[in-house]
Structure 1
Amino acid sequence: MIFDVFSTLAKRFFSGNLVLQIAVGIVCGVLVGQFAPDLALSSQLLGDFFVKALKAIAPILVFILVMAAIANHKQSQHTHIRPVLFLYVLGTFVASLTAVAFSFLFPTQLVLSASDMSRAAPQGLGEVLQTLVFNVVDNPINALLQGNYVGILAWAIGLGFGLRHASESSKQFLQELADSVTKLVNVIIRLAPFGIFGLVANTIAETGFDALLGYSHLLTVLIGAMLFIALVTNPLLVFWKLRRNPYPLVFKCLKESGLTAFFTRSSAANIPVNMSLCKRLDLDEDTYSVSIPLGATINMAGAAITITVLTLAAVNTLAIPVDFGTAFLLSIIAAVSACGASGVAGGSLLLIPLACSLFNISNEVAMQVVSVGFVIGVLQDSAETALNSSTDALFTAAACLSEDKA
């Protein structure tokens, strides 16, 4: 009897509306974090379990899906990787320019204090690009263990092309393996309401809302710029590709990808979510199996905004004059650096000293700016990841649907 009841509840849960379930998890997490902090801290186990499960399955999913897609690709099939890559690069650069405009329109000043940062920032753009290039030739086992998606993609593509000459039975086995991993991913994604409940409850219990009030202006500029990209420039780029109302697709990607990414705060962990979304949108699997993990590595509009806004906040605090040419150069540096953010420990925040060096700001002061970034990271990193990850799915969908229409 008890087993039957449990079975019925489980079936209803797994067949229910996932977005609605996540919304309920968010509300419950806020309430528990605010009014039962001890219980909220314990619930972090749910959040950690969910994020760890996603991060564990994502490298395997990417490796097998890309390898299977390339191995089973027919010569007559056409993929849309090139237009997706163009949108990635253009979108990241536009995000940098937007961040410059927001920083000039709403100048921000910081209260800088000494900060001991144990992690080293990259010393130049060459170091960022070198890390990115060396990740391509990483040991495949190490790439899977470390979540190095550039290396995973490189090995998956190479093996995929090699397996195109394999027997049909071997190719069929690869496809069945990819289908099996996809089903496992779907099960993990259905656990999102519980995981997000734990993440939200723990965040509210640990930081509350007071810690963020002192940086409200900075957060407003950062998140305002990200919202402008998500709701204005990205839709314009999608409209340019599709020549139709872009907002249904934009809102679908924000709701089904951005919402989950906001709380997991990991583009890598959100790869399975984006893969599942692209499948439901009936996009070309040969395209999204490559473009989604690649986007988690190089499509970094949110990171470009973070680097630009925090750098110009430091510049404004130190009363350093900025002309148009320097601001434009900062946009280029921020966009290129953002593409390498995933290859640097600490992500976008530790690339701020690199951008600050353009204005001869000392590394000591720059690292104080980084420390401010860690304070506001609860919201900044969440919003940044939501923008980055939802844009991966959005631009992939726009490119695929545009090519199919043509």
Structure 2
Amino acid sequence: MKKIGLIWRILIAIALAVGLGMLLPKIHEGFSEWFVSLFATFNMIFGGFLNFVVPLIIIAFIAPGIAKLGKGSGKLLGMATVFAYASTIVAGIIAFFAATTFLPNFIHAVGSGSVENAGRPAAEAFFEIEMTPVMGVMSALLLAFILGIGMASISSKTMLSFFDELNTLIEKVISYIIIPLLPVHIFGIFLNMTFSGEVAKVLSVFSIVFVMIIILHLLMLTIQYTIAGSVSKRNPFVLMKTMAPAYMTAIGTQSSAATIPVTLRQAKKAGASERVADFTVPLFATIHLSGSTITLVSCSIGVLLMNDMPVSFVSYLPFIFMLGVTMIAAPGVPGGAVMAAVGLLATMLGFDESMVALMIALYMAQDSFGTATNVTGDGALSIIVDRFTKKEA
């Protein structure tokens, strides 16, 4: 029997939570409160564990990621990194202005207020367990930068080997504990929201944000390939058509890494030289996540608006800049980008556990499309880097 994909498990969890949340109070009020509280307890434990792991995720992925960026082909590495970071930042800024322009009208139309302040009171956990992280998120980021830059500067093999093993260990924690339990966590959140009478608004926001994100993904690809077409003197839409197999492969695999062979082949067909494509495509699969950034910025604004929290460009620009760096830490698993961004959501945007869970659900609902946008954009950046390196040659 074929394993059910993560997206489908999350959608099933949401559907079950909404159905049970509406049905249980009609059967027995006392039992429904106990049942919802049971999952509220699970969410408390899972949320505490997630907060504990976040600093470890940041250190385990960012430190070796930066260290490995310090090796390679000098100017080619520097140019590729600058273009990838610029593309990610531009994607985030476009998403901010699009989301703040269109989402307030739609989201306010379905009501406002906290997801925990309407209908019945939200169910409480049976008990509390404190899981204090070993350090704060910003401390973890600073430590990761110091270690990563330090390992790159001294070409450390011993430390890099340690962090590679730590990276593998934490990725297994994500793959075998966090990701499998995410549908249960999201089930508990949506069960509680249905119980408190807020689920209709949340599902409306889901559909609105989803449509806007897909449009922004296509817009970003058009911008990337218009630039690539202009520097290479090729038709941008022909280039996009050439990269279409990579887009479709990424939708199916939900993994930039798994799509690398297809992305590499199509980038060469689109005109990137073999020398440049062989170097940049695997690199971009790690550091260029424009599609994921669009999704994270759009979804986070949707969640903030839904909770009647302020959204301003002054507060969001630092988040976007940090998000561009943090994406280096994104694990190579479905939903890896949002897991790497959880710390920033909490510290820079003030997300609580229920908002983080909503964010994860929103993100995972279109993760394959974000990944597809990431890898398809890699082809455009490879063409751009190729043309600039030829000019310097």
Scaled by the length of structure 2, the TM-score of the pair is 0.56
| 2:218 corresponding residue in structure 1 | 227
Contact 1:95/1:229, CA 8 A, preserved across alignment? yes
Contact 2:291/2:370, CA 8 A, preserved across alignment? yes
Deviation at residue 394 of structure 1 after TM alignment: 1.9
1:97-145 Cα shifts (integer Å, max 9, x gaps)? 01101111121649847899x9x99952553575586698543996699
* 1:377 correspondence with 2:373: no
Q: Counterpart of 2:375 in structure 1: which amino acid?
A: S
Deviation at residue 309 of structure 1 after TM alignment: 1.4
Cα distance between partner residues in 2 of 1:336 and 1:269: 22
Cα distance between partner residues in 1 of 2:221 and 2:163: 36
Contact 1:307/1:355, CA 8 A, preserved across alignment? no
| 2:102 corresponding residue in structure 1 | 106
- Pick one of 260, 267, 285 that aligns with 2:256: 267
Contact 1:353/1:366, CA 8 A, preserved across alignment? no
The gaps in structure 1 that reach 5 residues or longer are 1-41, 47-65, 150-210
- Pick one of 86, 93, 98 that aligns with 1:97: 93
Q: Counterpart of 2:369 in structure 1: which amino acid?
A: A
Residue 343 to residue 126, structure 1, CA distance change in 2 (3 Å): farther
Deviation at residue 220 of structure 1 after TM alignment: 1.1
Contact 2:300/2:359, CA 8 A, preserved across alignment? no
Cα distance between partner residues in 1 of 2:278 and 2:94: 30
Cα distance between partner residues in 2 of 1:144 and 1:328: 31
| 1:389 corresponding residue in structure 2 | 375
SS at match of 2:258: coil
| 2:161 corresponding residue in structure 1 | 139
| 1:217 corresponding residue in structure 2 | 208
Residue 144 to residue 276, structure 1, CA distance change in 2 (3 Å): farther
Deviation at residue 305 of structure 1 after TM alignment: 1.4
* 1:357 correspondence with 2:347: yes
Cα distance between partner residues in 1 of 2:169 and 2:217: 26
Cα distance between partner residues in 2 of 1:277 and 1:129: 37
| 1:286 corresponding residue in structure 2 | 275
- Pick one of 344, 358, 367 that aligns with 2:356: 367
SS at match of 2:103: coil
* 1:340 correspondence with 2:325: no
Q: Counterpart of 1:390 in structure 2: which amino acid?
A: T
* 1:237 correspondence with 2:227: yes
- Map 1:306-317 to 2 at 5 A: 306-317=295-306
Residue 293 to residue 107, structure 1, CA distance change in 2 (3 Å): same
Deviation at residue 392 of structure 1 after TM alignment: 1.4
Q: Counterpart of 1:394 in structure 2: which amino acid?
A: A
1:132-160 Cα shifts (integer Å, max 9, x gaps)? 866985439966994999xxxxxxxxxxx
Deviation at residue 385 of structure 1 after TM alignment: 0.5
1:158-197 Cα shifts (integer Å, max 9, x gaps)? xxxxxxxxxxxxxxxxxxxxxxxxxxxxxxxxxxxxxxxx
Residue 45 to residue 381, structure 1, CA distance change in 2 (3 Å): closer
- Pick one of 291, 296, 304 that aligns with 1:302: 291
Cα distance between partner residues in 2 of 1:221 and 1:129: 34
Deviation at residue 229 of structure 1 after TM alignment: 0.7
SS at match of 1:97: helix
1:207-243 Cα shifts (integer Å, max 9, x gaps)? xxxx988721121122222121112x21343245335
- Pick one of 212, 216, 240 that aligns with 1:250: 240
Cα distance between partner residues in 1 of 2:346 and 2:162: 35
- Pick one of 330, 337, 340 that aligns with 2:319: 330
State percent identity of aligned pairs: 21
- Pick one of 118, 124, 147 that aligns with 2:137: 124
SS at match of 2:331: helix
Residue 79 to residue 323, structure 1, CA distance change in 2 (3 Å): closer
Residue 142 to residue 322, structure 1, CA distance change in 2 (3 Å): closer
Q: Counterpart of 1:287 in structure 2: which amino acid?
A: V
Deviation at residue 404 of structure 1 after TM alignment: 3.6
Cα distance between partner residues in 1 of 2:226 and 2:136: 36
Residue 241 to residue 83, structure 1, CA distance change in 2 (3 Å): farther
SS at match of 1:139: helix
Deviation at residue 90 of structure 1 after TM alignment: 0.9
Cα distance between partner residues in 1 of 2:170 and 2:242: 28
SS at match of 2:308: coil
Cα distance between partner residues in 2 of 1:332 and 1:304: 10
SS at match of 1:223: helix
Deviation at residue 312 of structure 1 after TM alignment: 1.2
Cα distance between partner residues in 1 of 2:342 and 2:166: 28
Cα distance between partner residues in 2 of 1:217 and 1:230: 21
Cα distance between partner residues in 1 of 2:164 and 2:311: 43
- Map 1:147-226 to 2 at 5 A: 215-226=206-217
Contact 2:242/2:266, CA 8 A, preserved across alignment? no
Scaled by the length of structure 1, the TM-score of the pair is 0.55
Cα distance between partner residues in 2 of 1:389 and 1:259: 10
Residue 148 to residue 343, structure 1, CA distance change in 2 (3 Å): farther
Q: Counterpart of 2:228 in structure 1: which amino acid?
A: V
SS at match of 1:319: coil
1:67-100 Cα shifts (integer Å, max 9, x gaps)? xxx8xx9xxxx98444332221110000000110
